Chains A and B, each alone.
Chain A
């Protein structure tokens, strides 16, 4: 038997997420058995299966995202920007200047 990975969407608008794995003889049986194994309680609006051997992992996952500090590219690299802006605005105000914002 083959191993199939089962994916679901909770509603038709949700992304696919992994629901689990099943064994089945072939694709047709996998489609039949996936719903009984992972969808018996109304868990999802859609059920997808793919043979495990058709899923391919990217090699060297430890280097994914880079190894140097590039936090400026991420949302969490901008923590405290509001406070910085407030502080600078006040310092400028003391000098009789202002920052205009669009």
Chain B
């Protein structure tokens, strides 16, 4: 990519867009309407944030925001694989939501000091809503972690399954040294990664889920991964359907789950080019 600002904006916008799309799949299916509205509203926030970022990117890239959101080939998307994984169940959805929104908060706070004025201004607006996403995610985190045996167990498994792909949110960006030396991003993703690990590590410790973070030091065999069938199963020799624990998204290398999502997300745009709301 020629402009390092574009590299950063694609990663940020695509994470928000794909997270928003996945969360929107819950609309009408959450066990009670209040939470249905909450998840749907968060989905709308994430998509609105993607739009703000794509508006900025549009000026650099030349394509209009709709074309950037919906008119790219799958390999052009730079979202982390975490975002595209199927919702699986409520436990996995909330585990990912919690891991993602803390990562997003760490990176957005850092970008408050960006030298890129338009981005800095967008981030200030996004943080107003992200604060609420974090409250929502933390509230569920504590509740599910404190639940009786089954809910706590399923939430712990979901956190373990999401942990590897969540760490890949911090894959280095294309042109990262150019991005940081120009002050577009004030910190390297590796520094943000450490900050995020420290933050979530503290919270995991508090609820006795410290093994979630510790398990990442071990080889990936035997960990719990979500599968396309919607079950969470132990991975290993028998479970090879999920090709990786989640790296590659920042290079446009997506999981098997991305294409079905992309086909649905872009169906209207592809069927009716140039259609307007």
**B partners with A:** yes
Give B25-67 interface residues, CB cut-off 8 Å to A.
32-35, 37-38, 41
Chain A 48-72 interface mask (CB, 8 Å, partner B; 1/0): 0000000000000000000000000
Once the chains are docked, how many angstroms separate the CA of A40 from the CA of B41?
8
Q: Is the CB of A28 within 8 A of B139?
A: yes
Chain A 17-60 interface mask (CB, 8 Å, partner B; 1/0): 00000111100110011011100100000000000000000000
Once the chains are docked, how many angstroms separate the CA of A67 from the CA of B108?
64
Chain A 82-95 interface mask (CB, 8 Å, partner B; 1/0): 00000000000000
Q: Is the CB of A33 within 8 A of B143?
A: no
Chain A nearest CB, measured from B129 CB (Å): 12
**Which chain B residues border A29 with CB–CB below 8 Å?**
139, 143
Does B135 make an interface contact (CB < 8 A)? Answer: yes
Q: Is the CB of B139 within 8 A of A32?
A: yes
Of B32, B35, B37, B143, which is within 8 A of A40 by CB? B37
Chain B nearest CB, measured from A35 CB (Å): 8
Once the chains are docked, how many angstroms separate the CA of A35 from the CA of B35?
11
B binding-site residues for A, Cβ under 8 Å: 32-35, 37-38, 41, 132, 135-136, 139, 143
6 contacts between A and B (CB under 8 A): A1-B32, A23-B34, A32-B139, A33-B35, A37-B37, A40-B37
Once the chains are docked, how many angstroms separate the CA of A52 from the CA of B241?
49
Once the chains are docked, how many angstroms separate the CA of A25 from the CA of B35?
11
The answer to whether residues A32 and B38 also contact, given A23-B32, A37-B33 and a CB cut-off of 8 A, is yes
Q: Is the CB of A32 within 8 A of B136?
A: yes
Once the chains are docked, how many angstroms separate the CA of A6 from the CA of B79?
38
Once the chains are docked, how many angstroms separate the CA of A35 from the CA of B136?
11
**Which chain B residues border A33 with CB–CB below 8 Å?**
34-35, 37-38
Once the chains are docked, how many angstroms separate the CA of A53 from the CA of B234?
45
Chain A nearest CB, measured from B32 CB (Å): 6
**Which chain B residues border A28 with CB–CB below 8 Å?**
139
When C-beta atoms are compared, the residue in chain A nearest to B40 turns out to be: A36
Q: Is the CB of A24 within 8 A of B34?
A: yes
Chain A nearest CB, measured from B45 CB (Å): 11
Of A22, A23, A25, which is within 8 A of B143 by CB? A25
8 other A-B residue contacts (CB within 8 Å) besides A23-B32, A32-B38? A24-B34, A25-B143, A29-B139, A35-B132, A36-B41, A37-B33, A37-B34, A40-B37
**Which chain A residues border B132 with CB–CB below 8 Å?**
32, 35
Once the chains are docked, how many angstroms separate the CA of A40 from the CA of B136?
15
When C-beta atoms are compared, the residue in chain A nearest to B33 turns out to be: A37
Once the chains are docked, how many angstroms separate the CA of A1 from the CA of B33?
13
Once the chains are docked, how many angstroms separate the CA of A29 from the CA of B139?
7
Once the chains are docked, how many angstroms separate the CA of A61 from the CA of B173?
68
**Which chain B residues border A1 with CB–CB below 8 Å?**
32
Once the chains are docked, how many angstroms separate the CA of A1 from the CA of B34?
12
Of A23, A24, A32, which is within 8 A of B135 by CB? A32
When C-beta atoms are compared, the residue in chain A nearest to B42 turns out to be: A36
**Which chain A residues border B41 with CB–CB below 8 Å?**
36, 40
Chain B nearest CB, measured from A32 CB (Å): 6
When C-beta atoms are compared, the residue in chain A nearest to B35 turns out to be: A33
Chain A nearest CB, measured from B243 CB (Å): 36
Of B37, B139, B143, which is within 8 A of A36 by CB? B37
Chain B nearest CB, measured from A49 CB (Å): 11
Chain B nearest CB, measured from A101 CB (Å): 59
**Which chain A residues border B139 with CB–CB below 8 Å?**
28-29, 32
Once the chains are docked, how many angstroms separate the CA of A36 from the CA of B82?
26
Once the chains are docked, how many angstroms separate the CA of A29 from the CA of B146?
14
